[in-house]
Amino acid sequence: MLLHIVARGRIGRGPEAELVARYEKRITWPLKLTELPDEGGRVPPRDPNGVTVALDERGEQLTSVEFARRLEKWRDAGKRECRFLIGAADGHGEGERQSADLLLAFGSATWPHLLARAMLMEQLFRATSILANHPYHREG
């Protein structure tokens, strides 16, 4: 299953970009990153056999294991793509929220979109590691 991150805003060359690149190299699943301007630009069409996850502070808060199991369920159901939408400073419009299969929150705080991208990349690496029985994730 392709993990497709569709992010508003350009990440540039800062420390967030280095962190995203570090996890991008470690994720073994197919991965695609699409950057859009803060406003406008075309969101790639949704794969009819895919799922859409919008990062939103009002979304579900999943543990890393729950997130991994959700990816596993979609993968095993034959979903071709799981795309993750990261909004700009003002988040997502109501239409994007309603069309998402899952609203996902990294806590109830609002995160800058560049940090949200880095956090998502780490959680994708962690989830794929959990599913591969890799020792990166430790249950406490």
The bridge status of strand 2-8 relative to strand 31-36 is parallel
Does 55 appear as a known binding residue?
yes
Does 87 appear as a known binding residue?
yes
Q: Which two tokens stand for residue 86?
A: 């990261």
Residue list for the binding site for S-adenosyl-L-methionine? 55, 87
Residue list for the binding site? 55, 87
